[in-house]
């Protein structure tokens, strides 16, 4: 932690960065919240531990920060994937971000209101980027961690095994719960559109009331708009107050992208994006 604070102080004092987006201790020892350090005194409040589950890359495309000088960011491997994806989509300038990469030993989900019981976050299971793929400074060390089995893949396979009607029933039961709070959109580092399609009123493509019909189109379109872009940070599912298994949609889309196009999001800085390009050899056996 001291290493992080020293580095942050150094960066702020010699004006390498304008500010640093990081984590600070929240209420109690095991809660953290996003924190913006603007001077050396602030830098002393930065922390990094297993409770730093948030993906801070979401702030990089905010008007307050974008194009306002070099922004420092404390980022885990998965957050860096989001940053790479944002650079690939030309949303942020590669030279305007200073990544303080953190060697990560897994983040945890808090299970109850006392915030005492924890479990390793779903996104950390089978993680391949515990050391970030891109960084300007690297802090900390990785150590072996105990990983529970990956249940998400199993859940997806179970749904795939059902027939179409049962799949519909499964998702109807899930989407029925949606209250259209759009927390999934707000927390997503890649949902950066200034006007989201769901906010459009003329014409209104997606019903805005929290009814199953509009919920269906919203959740499908959200998953579709993130296909080949979702880096799997799992923030949408974490913030969902109704516990809709959004990761099951997002993971499925990345499985399809991998299978059909051998494409993974958040890997390459300069290759074309998945739906921003085409290939003459794309599959078309489903087209009459």
Partner 1 sequence: MSEEKFQPKIVAFVCNWCTYTGADLAGTSRLKYQPNVRLIRLPCTGRIDPVFIIKAFEKGADGVLVSGCHPGDCHYNLGNLHARRRFILFSELMNYVGIDSSRLHFSWVSASEGKKWVDVINEVIDTVREVGPFKKYQKINKEFVLHE
- List contacts with partner 1 (CB under 8 A): 159-160, 164-172, 197, 205-207, 209, 211-214, 216-217, 220-221, 223-224, 227-228, 249, 252-253, 256-257, 260-261, 274-275, 277-280, 282-284, 286-288
For residue 120, the 8-state DSSP code is E
Give residue for tokens 């949606």: 178
Residue 187 vs 253, nearer CB to partner 1: 253
Residue 147 vs 169, nearer CB to partner 1: 169
- Residue 242 near residue 177, CB atoms below 8 Å: yes
Token pair of 75, please? 């980022």
- Give the separation between CA 114 and CA 250, rounded to whole angstroms: 30
Q: Quote the least distance from Cβ 66 to partner 1, whole Å.
A: 26
- Residue 272 near residue 179, CB atoms below 8 Å: no
Q: Quote the least distance from Cβ 251 to partner 1, whole Å.
A: 11
Residue 105 vs 174, nearer CB to partner 1: 174
Q: Quote the least distance from Cβ 198 to partner 1, whole Å.
A: 10
Residue 107 vs 249, nearer CB to partner 1: 249
Cβ neighbours around 275 below 10 Å, total: 14
Residue 269 in 3-state DSSP? coil
- Give the separation between CA 179 and CA 211, rounded to whole angstroms: 8
Cβ neighbours around 259 below 10 Å, total: 9
Residue 138 vs 197, nearer CB to partner 1: 197
Helix (H) or strand (E) holding 4: helix 2-13
Helix (H) or strand (E) holding 239: helix 235-239
Give the chain's end-to-end CA distance (angstroms, integer).
Answer: 59
Residue 149 vs 287, nearer CB to partner 1: 287
Give residue for tokens 């030993």: 105
Give the angle 5-110-58 at the CA atoms, nearest 5°.
Answer: 55
Q: Quote the least distance from Cβ 86 to partner 1, whole Å.
A: 21
- Residue 71 near residue 21, CB atoms below 8 Å: yes
List, in order, residues 6 or more apart from 10 with CB less than 8 Å away.
Answer: 16
Q: Quote the least distance from Cβ 242 to partner 1, whole Å.
A: 17
Q: Quote the least distance from Cβ 234 to partner 1, whole Å.
A: 18
Residue 50 vs 207, nearer CB to partner 1: 207
Q: Quote the least distance from Cβ 114 to partner 1, whole Å.
A: 36
């Amino acid at each position: 932690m001291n290493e992080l604070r020293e580095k942050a102080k150094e960066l702020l004092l010699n004006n390498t960065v304008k500010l640093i987006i990081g984590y600070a201790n929240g209420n109690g020892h095991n809660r953290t919240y996003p924190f913006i350090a603007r001077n050396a005194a602030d830098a002393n409040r930065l922390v990094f531990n297993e409770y730093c589950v948030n993906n801070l890359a979401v702030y990089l495309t905010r008007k307050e920060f974008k194009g306002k000088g070099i922004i420092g960011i404390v980022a885990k491997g998965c957050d860096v994937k989001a940053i790479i994806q944002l650079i690939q989509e030309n949303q942020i300038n590669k030279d305007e971000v200073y990544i303080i990469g953190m060697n990560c030993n897994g983040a945890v989900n808090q299970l109850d209101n006392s915030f005492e019981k924890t479990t390793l976050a779903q996104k950390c299971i089978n993680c391949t980027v515990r050391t970030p793929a891109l960084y300007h400074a690297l802090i900390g060390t990785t150590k072996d961690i105990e990983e529970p089995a990956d249940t998400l893949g199993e859940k997806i396979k179970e749904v795939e095994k059902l027939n179409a009607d049962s799949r519909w029933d499964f998702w109807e039961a899930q989407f029925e719960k949606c209250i259209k709070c759009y927390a999934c959109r707000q927390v997503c580092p890649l949902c950066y559109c200034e006007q989201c399609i769901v906010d459009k009123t003329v014409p209104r493509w997606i019903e805005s009331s929290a009814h199953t019909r509009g919920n269906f189109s919203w959740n499908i379109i959200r998953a579709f708009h993130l296909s080949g872009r979702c880096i799997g940070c799992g923030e949408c599912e974490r913030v969902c107050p109704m516990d809709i298994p959004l990761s099951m949609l997002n993971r499925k889309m990345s499985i399809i992208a991998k299978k059909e196009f051998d494409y993974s999001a958040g890997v390459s800085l300069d290759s074309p994006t998945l739906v921003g390009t085409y290939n003459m050899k794309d599959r078309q056996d489903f087209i009459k």
